[in-house]
Amino acid sequence: MVEQQELEARYARRTSAKTAVFVYAGHVADACARPGVMAEGDVLLDMVGGRGLRVADIRARASEARGTAGRLLVDITVPSHFGCHAFELGADVQLEALDRVAAGMLRRKVVAISSRTDLTVAGDALDPDDLAAITQGLDSLHERMQRHFDHARALAEYLSCCDSPISGGRVAVSYPGLASHPDHDLATRVLVHGFGPAVDFELPDAWGATAGEFIRRCRLNGRSQPAGGFNTRLHARDGSDGRAVRIFAGLDNPLEIADDLDQAMRWLRNPPAP
């Protein structure tokens, strides 16, 4: 079994960091709340996230943060360290939830904190099974992540074509790899190997359907499967009563996922008579 310090050092080398530690945390924000992670004047940015999967301009924000004597912390969970080299863009600290790195095999959620300088935050002693999952995940990460990225792009391209008459109204798609995305040009400069594994889309108001209803209509919604694993997962971005669905593309066949999405759209647009 690999020692945790050895694995943290391996992760640090992968991310071009000086040091890295692993902590148990439900979210990156929880990790940031730990003593020694964030200080007054520091800024935390989501590399890719929020409504519409907006892309952060790290170079510009790094200059602003240093102007106030703070550090720039960047959450790279969505693109992962495979898809974003935040240190090269000016970040001081990177944070990454390791669900996808560990291929969905973690028993508890782990966040990696890596820094260009020494870290004062203490890591947690991880369960041996979690260490093994991260070790095995790093071995296969590049091949898996490229498939996640490629499948997300395929699904985004499919969804961008979903308008009348099939769906009875245009589906609003947000994906940094589409030319229609407001941050597309920026994304081509700050992301590598593609544009990440996530796709957002919003159901037309005319359908009168919620994201929760849509997800329940999808047979392959992945809700019973672990986050970051083999299966594509659908998530109600703004809650079940909202209209926004976020897709985290898996390693499964994107054509089958697209067909499942299509069937749900057809049903919600023209439900069978009672």
Model pLDDT for residues 59-108, shown as the tens digit of each residue: 988 877 666 668 999 999 999 999 999 999 999 999 999 999 999 999 99
DSSP state letters, 56-93:
--HHHHHHHHHHTT--EEEE-TTTHHHH--HHHHT-SE
Output the pTM of the full model: 0.93
The structure tokens listed for 225 are 């499967």
Domains and CATH numbers, the chain: 4-135 (3.40.640.10), 142-269 (3.90.1150.10)
Sign of CA dihedral 259, 171, 47, 50: negative
128-160 and 4-14 helices cross at what angle (nearest 10)?
30
Ranges 47-56, 58-67, 222-231, 241-250: which has the least confidence? 58-67
Across 130-156, average pLDDT: 97
Find out whether 94 and 74 touch, Cβ atoms under 8 Å.
yes
Checking if the pLDDT of 167 tops 50, the result is no
Q: How confident is the model at residue 273 (pLDDT cuts 50, 70, 90)?
A: low
Residue among 7, 5, 20 nearest 76 (CA): 20
269 compared with 156, residue with greater pLDDT = 156
Specify the amino acid at residue 3: E
128-160 and 254-269 helices cross at what angle (nearest 10)?
60
Name the percent of the chain lying above pLDDT 70: 94
Checking if the pLDDT of 22 tops 90, the result is yes
Checking if the pLDDT of 24 tops 80, the result is yes
